[in-house]
Structure 1
Amino acid sequence: MTEENERPDRLLTANEVCSMLSIRHNALYEYIKEGKLKAHKLGGNGNSRRPWRIWWKDLQAFVKGDYPNA
């Protein structure tokens, strides 16, 4: 991961996280659903198809194993 990506205030897309972790989207969404990876849907128009976003700091916590519901 490059220094540009390593900012705690950076929001990552699902595609970026999947690429960084070398996992498929299905696995990512399971981690989110299980509460292992904190993620957010941005925007407030009620559209359930809004893309997930993950804070860099939350990805780091997940990678370190510091997540709830483990």
Structure 2
Amino acid sequence: MTVVDRSNQSLLIYDKTGKLIVTGEKGKGTAAITGLAAGAKVAEGDYQASFSDGTNESDKVPVSAFDVLPAEG
């Protein structure tokens, strides 16, 4: 297996229309999708993710299904 150095890349998240909605912090490998309702169920493929160094971008892959956690409080 090839290990890819992501230290100079940002995680990009796109919605299902292909619009970029989140750019994660460089080198972190994470990005937060905000504005979703607590308890919402997100289907696989509603979002796509890729990595970019600002010049080159990897292929987009579907984000797995997930449930939005309820608000703490």
TM-score interval, normalised by the smaller of the two chains: under 0.3
* TM-score in terms of structure 2 length: 0.26
Which structure is higher in strand share? 2
